Amino acid sequence: MNASAGGVETSDVVAAALRDKRPVVALESTIIAHGTDAQKARYLQPLLSAEEIWCQGFSEPGAGSDLAGVRTAARLEGDRFVLDGQKVWSSYAHIADFCILLTRSDPESSRHAGLTYLIVDMHAPGVDVRPLRQITGEAEFNEVFFDGVRVPAENLVHKLNEGWAVAITTLAYERDLLTFIRHISLRNALHRLVALARTRGAGSDPILRQKIAALWIGEQALQMNAYRSLTKILRGGAPGPEGSTSKLFWSQLDQELALTATELIGPYSQIAEGSPWAVDHGQWEFYELLARGSGIRAGTSEILRNILAERVLGLAKD
Ligand SMILES: Cc1cc2nc3c(=O)[nH]c(=O)nc-3n(C[C@H](O)[C@H](O)[C@H](O)COP(=O)(O)OP(=O)(O)OC[C@H]3O[C@@H](n4cnc5c(N)ncnc54)[C@H](O)[C@@H]3O)c2cc1C
């Protein structure tokens, strides 16, 4: 767990993954909704306790927002699938034990048909993980190559060629219920921002006060909306397209928070950890760079607005 992959120290990444359990809620909910009894018995407990780390293999070089363009091939040969292809931007793949993988199992199919959802052992022969360094300096996500990887047929989630419905479940939970976890890290950052404003004597600046107050109101709204989603799910419901509101709103707040910290600190906000001039050990420099990805991961803001426009408001299709 503390090994380094491709020269990348993983201990911080593991700590972050365990701290906010980013993919876990969506993966666990998917297995509960679509997995077999044997899959639930085998995978759920160590997934929840983080004894086993999972990653999500959806995006490919030619399939990001347009996820139905997935091309990673899964050929069914007897009692196993054989995988060939490539995924990209797979968070934590370099430390993951398992991957939920969206594959194209029918080579004649296109778009949403002919896709199959598999659980893949990341330690299997033929899996090659190559970390990608990000703007923050970390390497949280990766390219993953599959070269003749064999996957037991019992690792099929739901039905052959019907993986799109399973992927939608994962995405819906990722965009909706996961906001609970995103909200906690946002609230923690907001508390740190308030402390910083006080320390720097900026609490009496009327413009800054307005901005922080707006962030505070947004944070409360995010939390209430997350409770609303949780209540719906606890009553037997499932997240729907309206859940995209939570992820979209969080990403906007997250970026506004980063911007407010940058304005408060001024040019010193760009100094990274390790320099004696770094404010708060460079955490705001890191936060600002990390927030660039908030409007991309788990669906870009443009895509989420399209979903809300078409599927919630009933407006014309994109
Ligand atoms: C930090 C981070 C972690 C990630 N982790 C994972 C992971 O663990 N697993 C995984 O599978 N993926 C992961 N991703 C990938 C992420 O899901 C994709 O980056 C995202 O879906 C966008 O796809 P893309 O990068 O191919 O961009 P593209 O789809 O090529 O989009 C490029 C731009 O075009 C816009 N655009 C595209 N289509 C439309 C449209 N129809 N209307 C309007 N605008 C449009 C987009 O909004 C975007 O601005 C991660 C990404 C980030 C940043």
Q: Choose between 310 and 17: higher pLDDT.
A: 310
Task: Quote the pLDDT of residue 9.
Answer: 37
Residue 280's closest CA among 262, 293, 297?
Answer: 262
Give the atom of ligand 1 at the shortest distance from the alpha carbon of 290: 1
Q: Tell me the pLDDT band of 23, cut-offs 50, 70 and 90.
A: low
pLDDT at 16: 46
**R_g of the chain, CA atoms, integer Å:** 21
Rounded to an integer, the average pLDDT of 68-95 is 98
CB-neighbour burial class of residue 315 (10 A; exposed 0-12, middle 13-18, buried 19+): exposed
72 lines ligand 1 (CB under 6 A): no
Q: How far apart are CA 111 and CA 161, in angstroms?
A: 11
Q: Which of 174, 219, 242, 285 is catalytic?
A: 174
Task: Say if residues 290 and 297 touch (Cβ distance below 8 Å).
Answer: no
Mean confidence (pLDDT) of the chain:
91
Q: 297, 305, 311, 315: which to mutate for ligand 1, most atoms within 8 A of CB?
A: 297
**Predicted confidence (pLDDT) at residue 85 exceeds the cutoff of 60:** yes
Ligand 1 near 297 CB (within 6 A) = yes
The yes-or-no answer on residue 174 being catalytic is yes
pTM: 0.91
Q: Which pLDDT tens digit goes with each residue over 282-291?
A: 999 999 999 9
Tokens 């209430």 correspond to 224
* Binding site membership of 59 for ligand 1 (Cβ less than 6 Å): yes
Report DSSP state, residue 304.
H
Record the tokens describing residue 121, joined without a space: 């052992």
Q: Is 56 in the pocket of ligand 1 (CB under 6 A)?
A: yes
Q: Are 2 and 11 a contacting pair, CB within 8 Å?
A: yes
State the distance from the centre of ligand 1 to the C-alpha of 110, rounded, in angstroms. 20
Decide if 82 contacts 74 (C-beta within 8 A). Answer: yes
With residue 191 as reference, give the H or E element that holds it. Answer: helix 179-199
Q: Taking a C-beta distance cutoff of 8 angstroms, is the pair 253, 186 a contact?
A: yes
Distance from Cα 141 to the centre of ligand 1, integer Å:
13
Task: Give the mean model confidence (pLDDT) for residues 58-70.
Answer: 97
pLDDT in tens, 263-311: 999 999 999 999 999 999 999 999 999 999 999 999 999 999 999 999 9
Minimum CA distance residue for ligand 1 atom 30? 64
Tokens of 25: 């809620």
* Ligand 1 contact, 58 CB (< 6 A): yes
- Contact yes or no for 141/89 (Cβ under 8 A): yes
